[in-house]
Amino acid sequence: MDPLFAAAPFTGYVYPNETVFPWGVLIVVYPYLTGLVAGAFTVSSLYQVFGLKQLRPVAHFALVTSLCCMIVVPVPLLLHLGQPERAFNAVFTPHWSSAMAMFGYFAGFYIILLIIETWFVFRPYMVQQAQSRKDLLGRLYHVMCLGSYDLSDKAMRYDQKWIFALAILGIPGAHGLHGNVGFLFGSLKSREWWSSDLMPVIFLFSAIISGVALLIVLYVLSCKLRRVAVDIPCVKGMGYTLWGFMMFTLLLELVEFGSLLYKGREGIDMIMEFISTKLVVPFFVLQLSIGAVTAILILSFLFWRHITGRALVAGIMLSALLTLFSVLMMRFNVVIGGQEISKTGKGLLTFPWEIFGRDGILAAGSVLIAPLLLLLVMVRILPPWQDSPAAASH
């Protein structure tokens, strides 16, 4: 048997070229990371723009987290490409009707915006360090100041205006970046599982809940590592944000799922076979039951019973971990699940898992860990905590 056919078992009628999955696990990681970027920036904007004081302890940390994730966002795409240097062709010679080409502009604009806003937020800390330190790190801060050492009240008010303006501009930028991913999938009419007008909206709301969940987990862990008390109102505020957006996201997913079944378009029999066989465990059990519904029930119980203290923090953190898992499974079910349905509408394919390949589990896991490692370095250089000089100055 041809090795291509052996690599991807299938049932029913499929074309020979469908035995190869063009998008693998790395393409699952890509929308997952862009979602973390948008969600983390949303938390930062809730404080910078809308003035939610509860989120003050985590606002600057959210900004740094968003920047670290954004730096790694292009990596899974570049690793997936056979010749990654050709990625620049989409930017220099774009096809204006291509959603993929637009990603280069969205990503370039947004990462510049994040860098500029981060510079304004941490400029007072960089100036203080540049003036007080005489070592190599002090020289680094000196370079990062870009010659701006004015910390007068007038300069601080000027910085705050820039931070506010950039935060406002970053809200549509962050959600446009991730909405582009949902638009890319939803506009592909050749795939029954992807073609949906609700796909961009679902991607946006799932991005918010994944970013909020990530910040909850990282903030609580950081407090334990720094041996400082967890700010209960801050965690509770993020918990309420997660709870509200999760219920709306789950509703959207169920509406989209029901809409797909109700349309009864050509190929619905094959869709029903896919739902009743391959999708039972990854979608109904892992994504919905264990991930989304369990997290919502835990948060509902915590807020209904007015739980406080360590029990509240532990419950919200558990819900955040389940949410991160649920969103990851949602990305997997969209990217991989859509490719398991034959374009002919007459058969199902089986995704060929690999561990050490270019598009394998090891590569995908490394990409997921990379933003966390980068974040460890960033918080050493630019401490985002409330008790740091950078946070205290704002």
Q: Which of 73-77, 200-204, 258-262, 325-329 has the lowest mean pLDDT?
A: 258-262
CATH number at residue 223: 1.20.1630.10
Please check whether residue 247 lies inside any domain of the structure.
yes
Out of 47-61, 155-169, 335-349, least confident range: 335-349
Q: With 70 as the cut, is the pLDDT of residue 329 above it?
A: yes
Residue 7 or residue 349, greater confidence = 349
Cβ atoms 391, 385 nearer than 8 A: yes
Q: How many residues are there in the chain? A: 394
Asked, for residue 205, whether it belongs to a domain, the answer is: yes
pLDDT of 394 strictly over 50: no
To the nearest 10°, the Cα dihedral for 174, 178, 179, 183? Answer: 150
In a domain, 36, yes or no: yes
**Domain contains 4:** no
Question: Mean pLDDT score of the chain, rounded to an integer?
Answer: 85
CA distance 192 to 184: 14
CB atoms within 10 A of CB 369: 11
What's the pLDDT band for 6 if we cut at 50, 70, 90?
A: very low
192 is written with which tokens? 């029954």
pLDDT reported for residue 8: 55
Range of the domain at 326: 10-392
98 against 326, higher pLDDT: 326
pLDDT-derived band of residue 183, with 50, 70 and 90 as boundaries?
confident
CA-to-CA dists, residue 215 to 210, 293, 372, angstroms: 9, 20, 12
Determine the pLDDT at residue 360. Answer: 84
Q: How far apart are CA 64 and CA 53, in angstroms?
A: 18
Whether the CB-CB separation of 237 and 55 falls below 8 Å is answered with: yes
The DSSP symbol for 349 reads E
How far is it, in rounded angstroms, from Cα 374 to Cα 384? 14
- Count CB neighbours of 189 within 10 A: 8
Q: How confident is the model at residue 119 (pLDDT cuts 50, 70, 90)?
A: very high
Among 16-30, 51-65, 314-328, the range scoring the smallest mean pLDDT is 16-30
Confidence class for position 221, pLDDT limits 50, 70, 90:
very high
| Number of domains within the chain | 1
Using the predicted structure, report yes or no on whether residue 350 has a pLDDT greater than 90: no
Kindly tell me if the per-residue pLDDT of 387 is higher than 60: no
How far apart, in whole angstroms, are the C-alpha atoms of residue 101 and residue 92? 10
10 vs 293: CA distance, rounded Å: 32
Confidence at residue 265, expressed as pLDDT on a 0 to 100 scale: 55
CA distance 394 to 392: 5
Residue 386 pLDDT > 70: no
349, β-bridge pairs: 10
More confident residue, 5 or 361: 361
The Cα 299–Cα 142 span in angstroms is: 46
pLDDT band at 232 (very low <50, low <70, confident <90, very high): very high
Q: Tell whether 336 is covered by a domain.
A: yes
Eight-state DSSP code of residue 358: T
Answer whether residue 207 is part of any domain.
Answer: yes
Rounded CA gap, 309 and 54, in Å? Answer: 16
Pairing outcome for strands 10-13 and 346-349: antiparallel
- Indicate the pLDDT class of residue 16, thresholds 50, 70 and 90: low
For residue 284, is it within any domain?
Answer: yes
Angle at 56 between CA 55 and CA 58, to 5 degrees: 70
Residue at 3 is within a domain: no
How far apart are the C-alpha atoms of 121 and 391, rounded to whole Å? 8
DSSP state of 351: -
pLDDT at 12 over 90: no
pLDDT band at 312 (very low <50, low <70, confident <90, very high): very high
Q: Could you read off the pLDDT of 72-99 as tens digits, one per residue?
A: 998 998 888 877 777 778 778 877 777 7
Res. 3: pLDDT tops 50: no
Q: Give the pLDDT confidence score for residue 124 in this predicted structure.
A: 93
User: Would you state the pLDDT for residue 218?
Assistant: 96
C-alpha–C-alpha distance, residues 312 and 131, integer Å: 42
User: Residue 186: pLDDT above 60?
Assistant: yes
Task: Give which of 193, 173, 12 is closest to 108, Cα–Cα.
Answer: 173
| One-letter-per-residue 3-state SS of 194-263 | CCCCCHHHHHHHHHHHHHHHHHHHHHHHHHHHHCCCCCHHHHHHHHHHHHHHHHHHHHHHHHHHHHHHHH
Residue 342: what pLDDT?
77
Measured in whole angstroms, how far is the alpha carbon of residue 242 from the centre of its chain? 14
pLDDT of residue 9: 64
Residue 387 DSSP symbol? T
Cβ atoms within 10 A of the Cβ of 171, count? 18
